[in-house]
Chains A and B, each alone.
Chain A
Amino acid sequence: MSVKTWWLVLLCGFGLAWPALAQEEEAPKEPPAAEEKTTIAEPAPPKSGLEDPALHKWGGWTLSLAGWSPTLVGAEEEVATFESVGVNQPLYQESDASIKETVRILYHIPHDAGTIVLHYDAMDHEDELQNLLPGQFVFSETRGFPVLLGAFDDGLADGVVSTATRRTREFRLEYQKKAFDSRWAKGTWSAGYRQLSHSRLLGITYYAIVPNLPPIIPPVDLPPGFDPDSLIPVPDGVSQTSNFSGHGLGASLDVEFPVHPRVSIVSGLSIGLIRGTSESKFSATSSFYSLIPTPDVPLTKDELFELLSNPQPPAGDGEPYVPQIGDLLQTTLQANLNSTTASQMAQSYDAYIGVQVIAYKGLRVFATIRDVSYINVGEYIVPKPGPTNEKTALNAGYEGYTVGISYRF
């Protein structure tokens, strides 16, 4: 988390706590002194008015809505490497934070028999990366199927554009009960059903924006209908998706440390085990230059440049074939792979700590720092030349500060 977000969390906590700390409590009225020396009973301490409303005959509800700006961690995608000062540096598709919501609906069972908790989280990150250095082929196409990558089949590009979508949905239905209640701390435990889904879509395009091919301009004589733009290098592309969904069980412990009648420090930890299935897809495109008479035979860079620089007249009858510019074409290669994992065990960890203030009877305002981790929520599968494929388990983490309110009625 950045220094700015830490600072804002502290500011929110101070902003919430200060007025509450500064608020004076009404002093109980002193009973008038009696003329006779008689024993006067101590008056009962007045109610502060901060307690939660009493349950109705049908129970009670608490609605909680929080907003947070989670930063995606542990899910960076390396889209390419680039050469810098003789060293290959990774180029990552990172993520920008955006405001997300967390919803909790609690039903308080009558007679303090416990609470049913519905919890829903939705995190979406859609990001783009563009890194273009026309004419400078310094990007290595590390995510493509490693056959004939790059405009000149050397695996290099002078521009990379990628888009990534990371989406997580978590639903919890739990039973919550008081664990302990003392002067110093109050704790509740909860356990129940979890449902989790995580999907990723990564698309990368590797460009050869300025390949500096010998110019196809006059006096080069092109056959009628031949389009010189057909020799512009076709970009290589990679598309990778992973979709995981499953359900399982989870448990939580939430603790509240009162530091003032209105102010508490709150923290909690939640763990979940989810079993689900994962579907992965990989698709890659590359291309190479060839001639119409031999469309499956790639031309080397030298052969291509020689043909474009010094085109020769066509061969006469009975003479060996002489390559012509008009016979040039780009042949496309495609590599696809789909996979479905029958069973995959994922784990989730959710921890938070922060400050809660009772603003009004039943109305709480809180600000916390939250960290959520999802382990083994999907996989990437990548074909390799030969009989084996490469599988990579996916993790996702979200961290950020949360600000929200809850109201009990």
Chain B
Amino acid sequence: MRNAWPITAAALSLAVVLAVGCDSTQPSHSSAHVASLTINASADVLLWDCYEVWTDQSNPPDGNPDRFENSFCELSTEPGQRSIPWNYSLRITVIRAGTTTEEVVTSVSGVVGSSIQPDDRVDDFISLTDYDIRVSAAAPKPPLDNIYYLNGQRVGPGSPVYLNANTFSLGTPNILTASPAFVFDVTSGDTIVVRARKQSLSQMAQFLPQDPDPNLLLVATMSVDGSEVVPAGSSASGKEDGSGFTFSFVVP
């Protein structure tokens, strides 16, 4: 071999190319996930016996109630912890992986994840927790003169039966106008932050007796890809009027 220049240059070039091109670092991988948030309220209450009030219009009365008059509820002595429809304010934000700033989420159906933003186009307390759907049989109530108490149901003060009997109209349960849950997309490494506060007692319809103290709690449940998660912080409010909670969760 007379001239080593070409081979020397080729060997050096190969070494430089390998030094620059060799990279064993794997590209980062992020996974898409679906988060779902629901919020409920519960309180310690005494249950109510609600009846349909009928009258016997026959002359003379024949013992058959003919006409429905109204609904009537009276307090029972049975206690229970029941769901209560309660308005609350809510703000859901996410901190993207590798950043430190929060941004309000948007649900998969395009709903803004906050009711306290200046531009969210909804009332601060538009969100409403679910009604109490549990019903049991009320104690039979004997008729009085020609007034009959029929179809007795024992319910909580958050039941539509009780609320309708007392002409309370609270609206449709929703979470920032979504129902039954607020669903939004996240990716691995994102941090979800949820803040909520109960509406003040003075601003709510006065359907919930305050004596004894109902210990009204607002409680959130969050799941990612269908599995319930345990967040950092508190996912339940205190019992104090207008109290709330803040919690966060890092999507794995």
A360 touches B5 (CB 8 A): yes
B143 on the interface (CB 8 Å rule)?
A: no
A385 on the interface (CB 8 Å rule)?
A: no
CB distance from A207 to the nearest CB of B (A): 6
Q: How many residues of A contact B (CB 8 A)?
A: 40
Q: How many residues of B contact A (CB 8 A)?
A: 50
B189: nearest residue on chain A (CB-CB)? A132
CB distance from A22 to the nearest CB of B (A): 5
B124 on the interface (CB 8 Å rule)?
A: yes
Q: Which parts of B69-111 form the interface with A (CB within 8 Å)?
A: 89, 91, 95, 97-100
Q: Which parts of A148-200 form the interface with B (CB within 8 Å)?
A: 159
CA distance A18 to B238 in the complex (A): 79
B 221-251 to A, binary, CB cutoff 8 A, 1 in contact else 0: 0000000000011100010101111111110
Given A219-B199, A219-B203 in contact, is the A19-B7 Cβ separation under 8 Å?
yes
B133 on the interface (CB 8 Å rule)?
A: no
A 193-222 to B, binary, CB cutoff 8 A, 1 in contact else 0: 000000000000001011011110111100
Which residues of the partner chain A approach B205 to less than 8 Å between Cβ atoms? none
A217 touches B197 (CB 8 A): yes
B19: nearest residue on chain A (CB-CB)? A8
B135 on the interface (CB 8 Å rule)?
A: no
CA distance A68 to B163 in the complex (A): 80
One of B8-16, B26-34, B57-65, B207-215 at the interface: B8-16
Q: Which parts of B146-199 form the interface with A (CB within 8 Å)?
A: 191, 193, 195-199
Which residues of the partner chain A approach B238 to less than 8 Å between Cβ atoms? 309-310
A219 touches B197 (CB 8 A): yes
Which of B10, B98, B248: most chain A Cβ within 10 A?
A: B248
CA distance A132 to B244 in the complex (A): 26
A11 touches B8 (CB 8 A): no
B2 on the interface (CB 8 Å rule)?
A: yes
A365 on the interface (CB 8 Å rule)?
A: yes
A217 touches B95 (CB 8 A): no
A 18-61 to B, binary, CB cutoff 8 A, 1 in contact else 0: 11101110000000000000000000000000000000000000
Can you name 16 A-B pairs with beta carbons within 8 Å? A8-B15, A8-B18, A15-B11, A18-B7, A20-B4, A133-B250, A210-B193, A212-B193, A214-B244, A217-B91, A217-B196, A218-B125, A219-B198, A365-B12, A403-B12, A403-B16
- Give A contacts to B, CB under 8 Å: 4, 8, 11-12, 14-16, 18-20, 22-24, 69, 130, 132-136, 159, 207, 209-210, 212-215, 217-220, 262, 309-310, 357, 359-360, 365, 403
